[in-house]
Structure 1
Amino acid sequence: MPESDMQTLTIIQPDDWHLHLRDGDVLKSTVPQAARQFHRAIIMPNLKPPVTTTEKALEYRKRILDALPSGSDFEPLMTLYLTDNTSPEDIKRAKESGIIHGAKLYPAGATTNSDAGVTSLDNCIATLEEMQKQGIPLLMHGEVTDPSIDIFDREAVFIDRVLIPLRKKLPDLKIVFEHITTREAAQYVSEAEGYIGATVTAHHLLFNRNSLFQGGIRPHYYCLPILKREENRQALLKAVSTENRRFFMGTDSAPHAQGAKENACGCAGCYTALHAIELYVQAFDEIGALEKIEWFTSINGPKFYNQNVNRNKITLVKKEWTIPQDLPFGENRVIPLMAGETLNWQLK
């Protein structure tokens, strides 16, 4: 159980089960910021070009490790980018490598750098069958891309059109429903049979879609899946603070240079790697559920991924601090979520 005296909170060191670090010079800032609080992280593979093979994942992993501060024990857990051409043999090699912990499904066109994603699951059945056999989880960006479907309904429609039929075909395939945002998704994951879990971001626990438009369009709150109605936020808060062990922390921290966000066609993604654990603690504190947070941040994820729970602990203190207005991002700057605003908890 977490240790709390109203002014401090001590929990098992958390892991981030959905993290974007990008590549190149920006790793010098994104990697240390994530390593500040997390011991492990599932690393998203949607680079340009994407991480489609075990060999590319090994190379990317080395670049991440090279960017770590001296003495850090942060461990990147690598994933493959699933395409129409990913073969069962690719999955076998991934399993044999020991460093691949999932394959990410991006429906083509669904989000950042998803153009090379899967156009139809019918193209991947043999590969998914091999993933089921090898025990490699399928990490699903759960939105349909049909332009006739309202953007606020695409996750709920995905459950009916894609997720339920897939799980009938492959009932033993281990699935992570990534960054869920709706009441329908929370209910499905809570009640479904079989091997399914879900990550939930801090921004979807803290904000609803009104935050996109307070005082004008606020691009740094724009993410995909997009923020939803208040009733959906409340459903997520209820899900993560109950005894259901299928929900775990995945920040979906997704940095973009300031100019790429503040743009006529701005990129989707909220950058939270610097202050993710403080954001989650604030969300749980606001609903009086700090005694439940450790399962969500530190236990449920490792158990789902068949990893040991971390031994180290971290402590947060109830102390106001101001989130920086911007942060280094290679030759550019990145604006963190809630830039210039105050949080009530700080990592000690």
Structure 2
Amino acid sequence: MTQPQTLTITRPDDWHLHLRDDAALAYTVPWSAAQFARAIVMPNLRPAVVSTAQALDYRMRILSSRPYGSVFEPLMTLYLTDSTPPAEIVRARASGVVHAVKLYPAGATTNSDSGVTDLERVYPVFEVMQAEGMPLLIHGEVTDSQVDVFDREAVFIERHLVRIRRDFPALKIVLEHVTTAQAVRYVRDQTALDARGTPLLAATITAHHLLYNRNAMFAGGMRPHYYCLPILKREQHRQALLEAATSGDARFFLGTDSAPHARVLKEAACGCAGCLTAPHALELYAHAFEQCGALHRLEGFASFYGADFYGLKRNDSRVTLLRGGSTVPERLPYVDGDIVPLDAGRTLDWRLERSGSLPG
């Protein structure tokens, strides 16, 4: 069979993205704007985005960092804490620009120190979110030091997510960056729909979890640029993610979890968790889908299912991927130094047709 030389799809959206703030926006916003029409922007800044007013201010900083002519739209989120007032959810929903609330278990990942310590403390917030139709985005890992780091997602589902779904059956939930066969099975077992007929539970999947298992972190030595949270898992879990992503199941959609950290912070004695994939995300996803013979299903996963879940209009514009060598830069400029993207130095099978210039 002749390999396709081009792939044109509806411009996709990124349903889980870290843009950071301040000087970093001059780099991160153009990277994502070149690939995506919209992105759900994570709120784990310092200080965290805990109010609608803060979300509006952050949105303006992002918009001011867009390249000339870009229509990239940041979809804002709030950071849930033990003390989030339920009334803030009403304000957020009324704003029209806050599209979800993010639950980080305290200490689970980068800048999550102010996260939730006890789920029952935020039950009043969940009640309002359920009534308002505000989605809850969950970093689904326990932080108990007695639980193996490779088991923390599965344990979170057993200990906490089952209870949340039972106590708030109409709450819309996205289990973010799923990494295990257990998470895939759990999402598939939940069949409840909202009034629009869309799933009440969905999951995002990253490109790096589709492409790599945990061996990537230890190939010939420590590989810090493959270290992320949730951590890469065994090959059996990667295969489960690939099957879910390429299945055409609308409960699974694209979320890069692109998480930039300067090279000096990654290549350190205690390196930061996160993989930078935003500058070449679509090329990575296309590679994963083609490996499974499922390029024809990339558009649904990347461009349709997330928009449908959030009740947003699908994008009108299109993007084209071209077959041919696209070499990932060894380093890219970033703030006061540089940054190493995932797969640095490797040649990918696809490249995004671009116009204009990007940082790096």
Q: TM-score range by the shorter chain?
A: over 0.9
**SS of corresponding position for 1:317:** strand
Q: Is the 8 A contact 2:154 2:183 kept in 1?
A: yes
Gaps (5+ residues) in structure 2?
193-199, 354-360
Partner of 2:149: 151
**SS of corresponding position for 2:278:** coil
Displacement of 1:328 after TM fit? 1.6
Matching of residue 238 in structure 1 with residue 243 in structure 2: yes
Cα distance change of structure 1 residues 5 and 343 upon mapping to structure 2, 3 Å threshold = closer
Which aligned pairs between 1:295-334 and structure 2 lie closer than 5 A?
295-334=300-339
Question: How many residue pairs were aligned?
Answer: 345
Displacement of 1:5 after TM fit? 6.5
Runs of 4+ in 1 over 6 A off after TM superposition: none
Q: 1:333 is matched by which residue type in structure 2?
A: D
Which aligned pairs between 1:159-174 and structure 2 lie closer than 5 A?
159-174=157-172
Partner Cα separation in structure 1 for residue 190 and residue 156 of structure 2? 15
Partner Cα separation in structure 2 for residue 320 and residue 206 of structure 1? 18
Partner of 1:342: 347
**SS of corresponding position for 1:104:** strand
Matching of residue 182 in structure 1 with residue 187 in structure 2: no
Give CA deviations for 1:117-166 in whole Å, capped at 9, x if unaligned.
00011100001100001111000000011110100001011111000011
Matching of residue 287 in structure 1 with residue 285 in structure 2: no
Give CA deviations for 1:168-208 in whole Å, capped at 9, x if unaligned.
00000000000000000011111213210000000000000
Identify which of 61, 64, 67 aligns with 2:62.
64
Partner Cα separation in structure 2 for residue 99 and residue 163 of structure 1? 27
Give CA deviations for 1:254-290 in whole Å, capped at 9, x if unaligned.
0001111001100000001100000000000111110
Q: Is the 8 A contact 2:246 2:292 kept in 1?
A: no
Partner Cα separation in structure 1 for residue 28 and residue 93 of structure 2? 27
- Normalising by structure 2, what TM-score? 0.95
Matching of residue 14 in structure 1 with residue 12 in structure 2: yes
Displacement of 1:327 after TM fit? 1.1
Q: 1:329 is matched by which residue type in structure 2?
A: Y
Gaps (5+ residues) in structure 1?
none
**SS of corresponding position for 1:255:** coil
Matching of residue 265 in structure 1 with residue 270 in structure 2: yes
- Normalising by structure 1, what TM-score? 0.98
What percent of counterpart residues are identical? 58
Matching of residue 131 in structure 1 with residue 129 in structure 2: yes
Partner Cα separation in structure 1 for residue 300 and residue 87 of structure 2? 36
CA RMSD in angstroms comes to 0.9
Q: Is the 8 A contact 2:10 2:315 kept in 1?
A: yes
Partner Cα separation in structure 2 for residue 24 and residue 52 of structure 1? 17
Partner Cα separation in structure 1 for residue 293 and residue 148 of structure 2? 34
Q: 1:100 is matched by which residue type in structure 2?
A: V
Q: Is the 8 A contact 2:226 2:275 kept in 1?
A: yes
